[in-house]
């Protein structure tokens, strides 16, 4: 079945003292288990808003969102936060690490918040940091790391609870070409292992790493293509 299923999603931003912005204007979308989907399109198309909706960070004005078959759009903020912690990993362009915590603590924190024992959290953190080549940096703070390293820490943090879905919002947007290649390589590796990934990017080269590309334009899905040439559901 689908990991994510959204129907009729609508989200209008209503900034104070400014005109409303119709960011997402009627979107139907399903992501199947194990898919690596890129959502691409120009700046302002509504990609980030869509990702925030799917992450449960904001609530749609109308429409439904199911994660693993359960409605999340109708849940309270507290319940959505719990669900996010356990089932969704998110990485952002600017990493959003806790600057005064060590790398190790940044990665362990979500595991502890999700109710893992300290021992289990430590074991999961150690395994991921080793896998991501960061074992030697675990006592550092984020400010002592390069951008690429910080994004790898953010990836470890997003994956520590083995989420059903990894959401990545322009994860290479503030990295150089080396960091970009590294992020792509890691996303590819986790995908090979069965991780479901939804990547938001305006970068065609990054989108090309996915096996399905959804083109977003003006708050709507303009195209939805499997890169082997087929179309989902066709």
Contacting residue, 49, 106, 150, 195, with ligand ADP by CB under 6 A: 49
Residue whose CB is less far from ligand ADP, 13 or 86:
13
Residue whose CB is less far from ligand ADP, 58 or 101:
58
**What tokens does 53 get?**
């909706």
Could you give the CA distance from residue 131 to residue 135 in angstroms, rounded to a whole number?
Answer: 8
Could you give the CA distance from residue 188 to residue 181 in angstroms, rounded to a whole number?
Answer: 10
Query: Can residue 43 be called a binding residue for ligand ADP (CB under 6 A)?
Result: yes
**What contacts 68, CB < 8 A, 6 or more positions away?**
3, 87, 164
Residue whose CB is less far from ligand ADP, 46 or 179:
46
Query: Can residue 199 be called a binding residue for ligand ADP (CB under 6 A)?
Result: no
Query: Can residue 46 be called a binding residue for ligand ADP (CB under 6 A)?
Result: yes
The nearest distance, CB 12 to ligand ADP, in angstroms, is 9
Contacting residue, 47, 116, 137, 152, with ligand ADP by CB under 6 A: 47
Residue whose CB is less far from ligand ADP, 108 or 224:
224
**What tokens does 143 get?**
């400010």
Query: Can residue 40 be called a binding residue for ligand ADP (CB under 6 A)?
Result: no
Query: Can residue 21 be called a binding residue for ligand ADP (CB under 6 A)?
Result: yes
Residue whose CB is less far from ligand ADP, 55 or 104:
55
**What tokens does 41 get?**
């399109």
Check: CB of residue 152 under 8 Å from CB of residue 74.
no
Segment holding 41, helix H or strand E: none
CA-to-CA separations, 59 to 134, 158, 204, 212, in angstroms, rounded: 35, 21, 29, 25
The residue length of the chain stands at 234
Residue whose CB is less far from ligand ADP, 41 or 179:
41
- Among the listed residues 61, 50, 58, the one whose alpha carbon sits nearest the alpha carbon of residue 4: 50
Query: Can residue 164 be called a binding residue for ligand ADP (CB under 6 A)?
Result: no
Query: Can residue 16 be called a binding residue for ligand ADP (CB under 6 A)?
Result: yes
| Residues at the contact surface with ligand ADP, assessed by CB under 6 A | 13, 15-16, 21, 23, 41, 43-49
């Amino acid at each position: 079945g689908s990991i994510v299923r959204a129907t009729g999603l609508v989200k209008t931003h209503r900034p104070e003292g400014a005109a409303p912005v119709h960011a997402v204007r009627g979107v139907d979308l399903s992501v199947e288990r194990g898919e690596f989907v890129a959502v691409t399109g120009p700046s302002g198309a509504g990609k980030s808003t869509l990702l925030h909706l799917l992450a449960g960070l904001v609530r749609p004005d109308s429409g439904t969102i199911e994660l693993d078959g359960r409605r999340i759009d109708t849940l309270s903020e507290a319940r959505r936060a719990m669900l996010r912690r356990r089932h969704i990993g998110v990485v952002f362009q600017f990493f959003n690490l806790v600057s005064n915590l060590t790398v190790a603590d940044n990665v362990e924190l979500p595991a502890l918040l999700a109710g893992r024992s300290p021992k289990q959290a430590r074991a999961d953190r150690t395994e991921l940091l080793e896998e991501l080549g960061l074992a030697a940096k675990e006592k550092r703070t984020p400010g002592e790391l390069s951008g690429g390293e910080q994004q790898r820490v953010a990836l470890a943090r997003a994956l520590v609870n083995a989420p059903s879905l990894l959401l990545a919002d322009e994860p290479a947007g503030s990295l150089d070409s080396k960091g970009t290649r590294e992020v792509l390589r890691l996303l590819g590796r986790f995908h090979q292992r069965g991780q479901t990934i939804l990547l938001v990017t305006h970068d065609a080269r990054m989108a090309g790493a996915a096996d399905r590309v959804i083109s977003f334009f003006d708050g709507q899905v303009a195209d939805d293509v499997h890169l082997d040439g087929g179309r989902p559901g066709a």
